[in-house]
Structure 1
Amino acid sequence: MIKDMEKQAAPAPLLSIKKLKTYYPIKRGILSKTVGYIKAVDGVDLEIYQGETLGLVGESGCGKSSMGRTIVRLENPTEGSIIFNNEDIAGYSNKRMTSIRTDLQIIFQDPYSSLNPKKRVYDILAEPLKVHKIVPEDKIPGQIDKLLDAVELPKNFKNRYPNQFSGGQRQRVGIARALALNPKLIVCDEPVSALDVSTQAQVLNLLKDLQKKLNLTYLFIAHGLGAVKYISDRIAVMYLGKIVEIASKDEIFKNPRHPYTKALLSAYPVPNPHMRNKERVILEGDVPSPANPPQGCRFHTRCKFARENVCDKDTPELKQVKGAEGEHLSACFFQDSF
């Protein structure tokens, strides 16, 4: 007998990366012999759903930007799959990636170095429109006006060069360039870290407004927890090439279940005078080299909860936290001990 009501299947993720690895060879000697690898991204599984913002946080050098660049195929993955829009693009050639570029874009950290200083804004925005033939040639001027209007820049700015803008205005041009191809997913690689605080807020508000209007999906990479908390729906925490915790932003901030996440949050300034004496977690020691990461749990060399013959031998898997409402994954053997 057919049921009157059936449980709806969970929507398929827009992006799904599985066992993704990005290694950079270490070369030495006159013959540039490969003597090892920097394991920037080392076996990451992650999913991003249509219309959401997934924040990716971690210390500098943890592999966040390498993962973002690999997802948009500015870097070639060493292993693993990148399933975007039901296509595994990990092994696509540059020629075959051309058709994917319209749906997959990136906003870079430094808006000045990412814009050609010898080109006017008009030429910077017109180039992707011409290459991918988004609109007819005679429609390009009007399309550029629409892009500038979308990022709240005057239309006459199209005749200026990048060095004639402030940092925030340049980043708006970078956002307009990413929007030019009508993408489905935008990787935001620390897009506000080079801006002052007031300008950061303006750019974050712009990104949120654009997401609502255009149904965009973001991977928002940052090391500043304030920006990530404001813009993200879910947050993934990365340490030394691996994801150690994933949950909704409320769960991450209220109930962190990985020692590294707790350390990051303890350093986050809270504008509440009654919380001046909150517990501080001081990380001891240096971040291990990604060329020679510790065996077992990557974090055990700096973790006060680590136990011998467990954390230094076996690698913990991302598992659902007991008692958590909704998805909350943590890669810690002793997540109930703190």
Structure 2
Amino acid sequence: MIEAKESPSQTPLIQIEGLKTYYPIKKGIFSRTVGHVKAVDDISLNIYEGETLGLIGESGCGKSTIGRSIVRLENPSNGKIFFQNEDITQYSNQQLKPIRKNIQIIFQDPYSSLNPRKKINDILSEPLIVHKLVKPHEVQQNVDQLLDAVGLPRSYKNRYPHEFSGGQRQRIGIARAISLKPKFIVCDEPVSALDVSIQAQILNLLKDLQQELNLTYLFIAHGVGAVKYISTRVAVMYLGKIVELADKADLFNHPKHPYTQILLNSSPLPDPKLRNKERLIIQGEVPSSANPPMGCRFHTRCPYVQDKCKNEEPLLTGFLHTVACHYPLG
């Protein structure tokens, strides 16, 4: 079942155009809508076949909402989502069924993402049976191959989720995600709930599977180190907007948006000699996504803010390295 595929190409697999995902704010005895939380606010992105697009930002900026909107666990308020040039934005659950074989998700919490009442064999068998991917007599063979692929003994298939550690559960979640041979996987902070040593193992597993199966990832995280290790390109998100997008090396070596620079500076330095070096520190609290600031959304916390930033929203501009800032760094 696990077989090598073609080398990565530069064909857009996922195209997002003007995506908005809002959540209504309701108040009063009649639950009237008095506003909206703008979790994702007018975002356009291309994710190319065979690449890993890293998506970083502070908690609550809308990263996971993008991922959940792409796999249609959340219904977008506006905009379009294309998979292989097919607009799936308004698809019903029945229309999405064949698409779901190619678009999967790995959840953040390995403890709550597995049904505690089912054995691992049942969890991994169910997608194969529902989508009729293999013949009934081949199901057990495929389950064994999935466990082999994620580095778990085949005998573990008769255990329940509570009998596993966090890292083992996440391996099972990965096995479930690749069981239908998808083309695209949303990795929604898949290592944030794990110990550091286990994080490295899971990241290496994801990279190995990507090479074997020619997978395309959207890798969502707030940890800079994991994104730097696994990503091909990196997008930086702040308060529902993409503020910078570039090749990994270019973004980490030459950040142009002040928020990106501060975000990268927030990572702990392993060298003690560098720890006393003066670094930009982000100030203030993140504004409410229900009432974002006018102009540049980062201007309330930006050390380089000018009058134009307070009144005029910057557009994401550039060619290979795009940035939404009136006064980009460098």
Place the TM-score, normalised by the shorter chain, in its bin: over 0.9
2:321 aligned partner? 328
1:78-106: CA deviation from partner (whole Å, max 9, x where unpaired): 00011111101111111101110000000
* 1:335 partner letter: P
Deviations for 1:288-307, whole angstroms, at most 9, x for unmatched residues?
A: 00000001111001011111
Aligned-partner Cα distance in 1 for 2:261–2:178? 36
Which residue number corresponds to residue 268 of structure 2? 269
SS in 2 for 1:23: strand
Structure 1 stretch displaced more, 311-320 or 103-112:
311-320
The residue type equivalent to 1:219 in the other structure is L
Q: Give the letter aligned to residue 245 of structure 2.
A: I
Q: Give 1:316's aligned residue.
A: 314
Once the two structures are TM-superposed, the CA of residue 75 in structure 1 deviates from its matched residue by 0.2
TM-aligned CA deviation for residue 277 of structure 1: 3.3
Name the counterpart of 2:239: 240
Aligned-partner residue type, residue 271 of structure 1: P
Aligned residue in 1 for 2:30 = 31
Report the CA distance between 1:258 and its aligned residue. 0.2
The residue number in structure 2 matching 1:227 is: 226
Cα distance in 1 between the residues matched to 2:11 and 2:201: 32
Measure how far apart 1:271 and its partner are. 2.0
Give a deviation string over 1:12-31, Cα, whole Å, max 9, x none.
31111011000000111121
Percent sequence identity is 64
Correspondence 1:117 to 2:116: yes
Q: How far is 1:279 from its partner? A: 3.3
Render the CA deviation track for 1:11-61: whole Å, top value 9, x for unaligned. Answer: 431111011000000111121111100000000011111110000000000
For 1:244 and 1:262, locate their aligned partners in 2 and report how far apart those are by CA, in whole Å. 12
TM-score where L is the length of structure 2: 0.96
Q: Secondary structure at the match of 2:100?
A: coil
The whole-number CA distance in structure 1 between the counterparts of 2:114 and 2:83 is: 27
Which consecutive unaligned segments of at least 5 residues does structure 1 have? 1-9, 321-325
Q: What amino acid is aligned across from residue 325 of structure 2 in structure 1?
A: C
Structure 1 match to 2:161: 162
Show CA shifts across 1:106-131 (max 9, x none).
00000110100000000001111111
Which residue does the alignment assign to 1:127? 126
CA-atom RMSD, angstroms? 1.1
Would you identify which runs of 4 or more consecutive aligned residues in structure 1 move more than 3 Å? Answer: none
Alpha-carbon distance in structure 1 between the residues aligned to 2:41 and 2:77: 9
Aligned mates of 1:287, 1:108 — CA distance in 2: 25
Quick check: 1:266–1:279 contact (8 Å CA) kept in 2? no
Deviation at 1:270, TM superposition (A): 2.7
Compute the TM-score of the two structures, normalised by the length of structure 1: 0.93
* Residue aligning to 2:5: none
- The offset of 1:278, in angstroms, is 3.2
- Give the partner amino acid of 2:257: H
Per the TM alignment, residue 249 of structure 1 is displaced from its structure 2 partner at its CA by 1.1
Deviation, structure 1 residue 281: 1.3
Correspondence for 1:150:
149
Quote the residue 1:190 is aligned against: 189
Aligned residue type for 1:333 = H
Residue of structure 2 in register with 1:256 after alignment: 255
